Structure 1
Amino acid sequence: MTAYGYFLSSEEFGPHELLDQARLAEQAGFEALAVSDHFHPWNDEQGQSSFVWSVIGALSQVTSLPVTTLVTCPTVRLHPVLNAQAAATAAVLTGGGFRFGVGTGEALNEHILGDAWPEAGERMQMLEEAVQVIRKMFTGEQITHRGDHYTVQNARLYTLPDEPPPVYVSGFGPQAAALAGRIGDGFVTMSPDAPLVEQFRRAGGGAKPVIGGLKVCWDTDRDRAAATVHRLWPNEQLPGELAQLLPAPEHFRQASSLVTEDMIRENVVLGDAVDEHVDAVGAYAPAGFDEVYVNQIGPDQTQFFDFYRTEVLPRLREPHR
């Protein structure tokens, strides 16, 4: 049975708003939370970017729902040892309800210390080594590690959960899916792409969980919803590797000038037609996904949660689906 969660957008909402949304999500019947981990928003219109580990600590005190980072880049901005410490503490605070989603990241967030932004192949190598270091740290033993990308000397975590948090690996192509199958406890990919899920499972993922998600914009006026998405999240429609390579919110604003409202209407669930929301979210289950996270774009959060509580989630959970 596919589980349905809510995706907290750290780029669009401040920490107090994220906590309010977490409460509303639990009351609406969502079963889990995901939260983005960014240093910058994608563009200045979104306007936020709080420190995710502080937010997760606060979430653990206001909701009983499990929390997953979608996703953290554990390779550049923070050393893998510090990511391991943060994830272990999050798992303790959530009573074992934290799942560590990781990926190769974006220049937008990772270039800020002046490090060179590597090619995709090297980023995957860095991620694999980072996950190795993180798993060693989760043992609670003293670790020394000298690898191609990271050095660790006499490091030990003292605050640990009873069980290490699972590490879910993000990927959007066959090589990344294969890496996730080899090193991950689960796979994160946003589109309901059944062949990519199969690639993950063949590469060693087996029956491990697959996690996906989508953005929607509930509104009683579809045109107003399209305008909201066009203002706040046009970057979602940018093709190829731009999301991984552009280094600053201003560059995303420039590239997003090529995105039209018609493109938004063709590719984003807009408005309050129940069938459109049910069909879009429901497409993940037959593609092999175990968890799906929905994010509401824009300010109409209370109305969105009421709509999903009364109209969408009951339909998604009908036995015949």
Structure 2
Amino acid sequence: MAEFGYTLMCEQTPAMRERTPVRELVDHAALAERAGFDYAIISDHFSPWLAETGHSPCAWSVLGAAAQATRRLPLVTYVTCPLMRYHPAVVAQKAATMGVLSKGRFTLGLGAGENLDEHVIGEGWPPVDTRHRMLREAVQIIRELFDGDYVTFQGEFYDIDSAKLHDLPDQRVPIGIAASGGRSAEIAAEFGDILMINDPMPEVVERFQTAGGAGRPVYGQLAIAYDADAEAVVEAAQKYTDAGYTHLALVRIGADQQQPFFAWAESELLPALRRL
């Protein structure tokens, strides 16, 4: 049976003028747990998709607070780019600390990034084949640091000098890798514990599975607008489960009506989805 998650939307305008989006995101994590969602994901952006939305807080700060505001809810980055804005060694340290704070409820989602967020450091934007090589190298570094030993590394893009993570969770942090095509699906199969794709792409799932990822979880994301029509959501979710997705996070578009949405999700939506 598939698991269903809730998306903490950093970019959305807060529903109440006296509240900040950062505080509301932490509240939403607690509400999602109470409603019965199986996990929560959060984007890791420097800039919002649209400037008009006006918000884009630091995902890692929100995650730390959400870990303390919840007790059972797994938390996932969807996704972090370890190529430019963050050095892979720094990402590994962030993820390990989140693993400790959440008591093993954290999953590190990684991807090759977008110009929207990575251009801010002023280093330009590499072509996709270069970013794929950078991602392979970055994930290799992160995985080695998760082993807990000192790591010295000299690669095409990154150098590491005697780095060691001194605080590691009892359970190794799982790594998900985002893919949108065959090449990235192969990278996910080689280095990832999880495949992450926004849209229903059965051909990418198949490529991941044939490249060595068979049996591993596949995460997707589905945008919905709250109108209390559970069957419409179920019909859309069916496309993902039919394509082999094991996890599907709902993106609740719009900052208003959060409280009634969570109540409806608990009483109607999640039970209907779990019948898939």
Report TM bin, short chain: over 0.9
Partner in structure 2 of residue 2 of structure 1: 2
Counterpart of 1:293, as a letter, is A
Residue range with higher mean Cα deviation, 124-133 or 277-286: 277-286
Unmatched segments (≥5 aa) in structure 1: 219-270
Aligned counterpart for 1:31 among listed residues 38, 47, 54: 38
- Alignment: residue pair count: 267
**Mapped pair 1:292 → 2:248:** yes
Shift of 1:163: 2.5
**What root-mean-square deviation, in Å, do the aligned CA atoms of Structure 1 and Structure 2 show?**
1.1
User: Conserved in 1, the CA contact under 8 Å of 2:189 and 2:195?
Assistant: yes
* Inter-partner Cα distance in structure 1 for 2:213 and 2:11: 30
Partner in structure 1 of residue 131 of structure 2: 123
**Mapped pair 1:301 → 2:273:** no
Partner in structure 1 of residue 216 of structure 2: 208
Helix, strand or coil for the counterpart of 2:52?
A: coil
Unmatched segments (≥5 aa) in structure 2: 14-20
Counterpart of 2:202, as a letter, is A
Cα deviation digits, residues 262-288 of structure 1 (max 9, x gap) = xxxxxxxxx332211111123222211
Shift of 1:157: 0.9
Helix, strand or coil for the counterpart of 2:12?
A: coil
Counterpart of 2:23, as a letter, is H
Counterpart of 1:4, as a letter, is F
* Inter-partner Cα distance in structure 1 for 2:110 and 2:204: 17
Partner in structure 2 of residue 314 of structure 1: 271
What TM-score, normalized to structure 1?
A: 0.81
Shift of 1:172: 0.9
Cα deviation digits, residues 39-62 of structure 1 (max 9, x gap) = 000112221111111111101101
Partner in structure 2 of residue 226 of structure 1: none
Helix, strand or coil for the counterpart of 1:99?
A: strand
Helix, strand or coil for the counterpart of 1:280?
A: helix
Partner in structure 2 of residue 109 of structure 1: 117
**Mapped pair 1:93 → 2:101:** yes
Partner in structure 1 of residue 61 of structure 2: 54
* Inter-partner Cα distance in structure 2 for 1:155 and 1:50: 28
Partner in structure 1 of residue 149 of structure 2: 141
Q: Give me the identity figure in percent.
A: 42
* Inter-partner Cα distance in structure 1 for 2:11 and 2:157: 29
User: Conserved in 1, the CA contact under 8 Å of 2:230 and 2:272?
Assistant: no
Helix, strand or coil for the counterpart of 1:18?
A: helix
Residue range with higher mean Cα deviation, 296-305 or 180-189: 296-305
**Mapped pair 1:18 → 2:28:** no
Counterpart of 1:91, as a letter, is G
* Inter-partner Cα distance in structure 2 for 1:96 and 1:284: 27
What TM-score, normalized to structure 2?
A: 0.94
4+ residue runs of structure 1 moved beyond 2 angstroms?
A: 271-274
Helix, strand or coil for the counterpart of 2:50?
A: coil
Helix, strand or coil for the counterpart of 2:51?
A: coil
* Inter-partner Cα distance in structure 1 for 2:12 and 2:212: 36
Shift of 1:145: 0.6
**Mapping 1:239-278, distance limit 5 Å:** 271-278=227-234
Counterpart of 1:84, as a letter, is A
Counterpart of 2:84, as a letter, is V
Helix, strand or coil for the counterpart of 2:242?
A: coil
